[in-house]
Structure 1
Amino acid sequence: MAQRPRGDRDAAERQAKRSTPRDRTAGAPSEGPEARVRIAVLGGFDLWVGDEPAEIPLSSGRLLAFVALCSRAAVPRALIAGTLWPDAPDRCAHANLRSALSRLRETGKQALDIGASEVRLARGAAVDFQHARSLAHRILDPAQNGKHDPGIATVEALAADLLPGWYDDWAQLEAERWRQLRLHALESLADTFTAAGRYAEAVAAARTAVHADPLRESSRICLVRAHLAEGNPSEALHDFNDYAQRLGAELGLLPTERLRELVAGLCTTVAPR
């Protein structure tokens, strides 16, 4: 993946955080309410200590987010420095790491266990992504079928992108992994809800997946199936036509036969533009 100049990437991250602010008055992330330190990386980055959001510099936030995505594993300082500052000489990268750690101040340092050669997430810190990822894996695990009853709250837990607006290679790689995982989980949820006659939840799950990737046909199929099962052919046709037009305009493609067969016979569909 091509690197943007560091100054451009940092500027883009700052702009992204300004353009999609999190509601810092609405309360801390819901995951791990018993935890004193909570880190949010879904929908944007935030650090909460107790009931208060903690303000930390951007470089320290990048450090904290990277370690949080490594779960509970101990992360060597050399790996952190080389990943967060890939274009800098080793000596400068390690100096940048020491600076980012020092700028966390005492509040931010509560989220980490900092050793001489490695850094790990503090034992009592909670990360919203860990909960959401575990939830997605449970949904996709056949052995877990029937062991939990997902609902709208489950759909909402899978709705957010990982670190949107962050252009570092490591962040984009993790964001794409999360996108694929949650899309498959949302599609599985939509089919499960449809089979159970829980159509409002089925449509919500499928539409959340469609919103994440409007050109992903498997998500559109889940949405069309949910509409048809509920007895809403007009909505099924509307979503089919919307997809066909987008697909034709952006990629010059037609929907596959699998999707076309779902709406065949409803009425004359709108041809892609």
Structure 2
Amino acid sequence: MDPVQWTGSIDPEVPSAARMYDFFLGGMHNFEADREAARRVIEAMPDAPMIARVNRSFLRRAVRFLVARGIRQFLDVGSGVPTVGNVHEVAQGLDRDARVVYVDIDPVAVTHAAQILAGNDRATAVVADLREPAELLNLLDHPQRRAVLDLSRPVGLLLVSMLHFVPGEPAHRAVTGLKDALAPGSYLVISHPVSEGVDAQTAGRVQGVYQRTATPGALRTRAEVERFFDGFALVPPGLVWTPQWQPDDDVAEADLGAADPRRVGMLAGVGRKPDEGMA
């Protein structure tokens, strides 16, 4: 029996990128269709599970970085299925008053997030689509969520390994809409797979698998990823291969990335919205 519980609004026969990612991370919140699709990705790209762990390691490092710089509010869009060491655990482990809103398009991911967050009045989860930033911002304006996230104060906006699921200009328009709503002093955190150095046949096979999901992916160039940070100042070391972004002793980094960071195939960066009058 599948460990996830679902309602009639969820088709367990259609794989989900969020639940496939959960499988890569060793999670249990996935259906057989998700596992089969994930296995097909691994056949084409055996490093996929390690890449997911390296990406999750970057997320934890970025959250610790932001907390050290005074950020106590986090908006994690495309958060997927929560796993051990997720944003609220890292942030609240450093400051119990830190607040987190998780957002995902997958109802299963949000249902499990809500279960995990039960009793935590400083974290919540909502179903929303990044491609509709105005609707997402409207959801955040609900009194229950305003009690968690105050957009008049600096926020850490996390778009980690999810923008490639929004191809083309809609992704840039959506990110711009969210950036415009952030207070000065807010941060934008992004990781994104890129076409640089990727074998075309491998990329085609992987993209073919994701075409069966509700969010088929697309690679971008380095310049296209950097454009998401327009109007924000990249903090050192800039936009780099994911293992190179302020590395620490995380075990996930030891196996992959230290010797050949390009092998991860994903860039990562953190940008800060300038203070008013400083742009």
Higher strand share: 2
TM-score by length of 2: 0.28
Q: Which has the larger radius of gyration?
A: 1
TM-score by length of 1: 0.28
Structure of greater relative contact order (alpha carbons < 8 Å, 6+ residues apart): 2
